[in-house]
Amino acid sequence: MISPTPITRTVLITGCSSGFGEATARLFAACGWNVVATMRSPEVGTELAALDRVLVTRLDVQDPASIEAAVAAAIARFGRIDVLVNNAGFGLFGVFESTPRDKVLEQFEVNVFGMMDVTRAVLPHFRANRSGVIVNVSSGAGVFALPMISLYCASKFALEGFSESLSYELAGLGISVKIVEPGGVTSTNFGQRSGQEASIGRTLPDYEPFVTAANAVFAGLRTSRASATSEEVAKVIHTAATDGTDRLRYVATEDIKPLVAARRESSEDEYLAFMRERVTPKL
């Protein structure tokens, strides 16, 4: 008897120019998947484009026409999409009051509304197939809040609530939603972009002692924990996409597990006492 030819599955990933997106594209390709590696500037994706079964195409989550074009190109090339990984994102760093309003809007346009627009573009295809997995890349900052990243936290808390709600709406249609929560990974371009964005904010002298002390807290958090790699996060994204379970959340790195446990397993008072001790700068 001839066994049926296994069908090669297809993943579409946003933000593949660097970091988790690039590592996830490489991992799925190495596992034999068709990969639609999308990015704002496809000219930086020549190494990915040279891999077998990888289509590099433009997708800027702030440009709806580019989202429609990328989804159409994926289906034209590979016939279907099985998994969507909403990975594109960035983090604003700095005190809220110093952050210009247009930057607040951009944080939500990329991390929240862009993620929703890509999801909306893929859903008719998933519904027609009665199958599909959506993996949304959140953060520890989507579970617990830290000072100096209020807008990033707000965007990832929004992503978490949206994803959880969507998971109930789509379960009956054979579509599952997954949330992957990485902690700090320094080998991506995330810190570099956050640093560039931070310089845009106004200097407000009243905050200066707080900002200096908060920066010392963050420096301590960075140096006291071994950083995970993009490849480790990519493995968790791959597991979330392929484990066939209805599990919703996946904590992707060890560093944030104590904080996630404090949030999820303690009372509100215990949690706040734990966090204030660790993240409130001593002035």
Please say whether the beta carbons of 152 and 141 come within 8 A: yes
Instruction: Tell me the closest approach of the beta carbon of residue 131 to ligand NAP, in angstroms.
Output: 25
Active site residue 152: yes
**Per CB under 6 A, 182 contacts ligand NAP:** yes
Q: How far apart are the C-alpha atoms of 208 and 224, rounded to whole Å?
A: 24
Residue 93 touching ligand NAP (CB under 6 A): no
Q: How far is the CB of 210 from ligand NAP (least distance, A)?
A: 23
CA 227 – CA 53 distance, rounded (Å): 31
Angular region, 41: left φ>0, alpha ψ -120 to 50, beta rest: beta
Of 17, 18, 139, 152, which residue is the catalytic one? 152
Residue 213: both structure tokens together: 């002390």
Where does this chain touch ligand NAP (CB under 6 A) — which range of 85-93, 124-132, 207-215, 271-279?
Answer: 85-93
**What is the per-residue burial (b if ≥16 Cβ within 10 Å, else e) of 250-265?**
bbbbebbeebbebbee
Q: Does 255 bind ligand NAP (CB under 6 A)?
A: no
Residue closer to ligand NAP by CB (options 133, 180) is: 180
Count CA within 13 A, CB hemisphere, residue 50. 5
Residue with tokens 């060890």: 254
According to DSSP, residue 86 is labeled: E
Q: Does 78 bind ligand NAP (CB under 6 A)?
A: no
- Determine if 61 is a binding residue for ligand NAP (CB under 6 A): yes
Name 176's Cβ contacts closer than 8 Å, sequence gap at least 6.
132, 133, 134, 167, 170, 246
- The string over 184-194, giving b where at least 16 C-beta atoms fall within 10 Å of a residue's C-beta and e elsewhere, is bbeebebeebb
Q: Does 118 bind ligand NAP (CB under 6 A)?
A: no
Instruction: Verify binding: residue 122, ligand NAP, rule CB under 6 A.
Output: no
Options 36-44, 93-101, 214-222, 258-266: segment touching ligand NAP (CB under 6 A): 36-44
| Residue 194 annotated in active site | no
Active site residue 156: yes
Q: Which range touches ligand NAP (CB under 6 A), out of 58-66, 169-177, 243-251, 261-269?
A: 58-66
110 lies in the binding site for ligand NAP (CB under 6 A): yes
| Contact between 197 and ligand NAP per CB under 6 A | no
Catalytic hit among 17, 18, 138, 163: 138
Distance CA(182)–CA(256), nearest Å, equals: 8
Q: Which of 9, 12, 13, 20 binds ligand NAP (CB under 6 A)?
A: 20
Binding site for ligand NAP (CB under 6 A): 14-21, 39-41, 60-62, 87-91, 110, 114, 137, 139, 182, 184-185, 188-190, 193
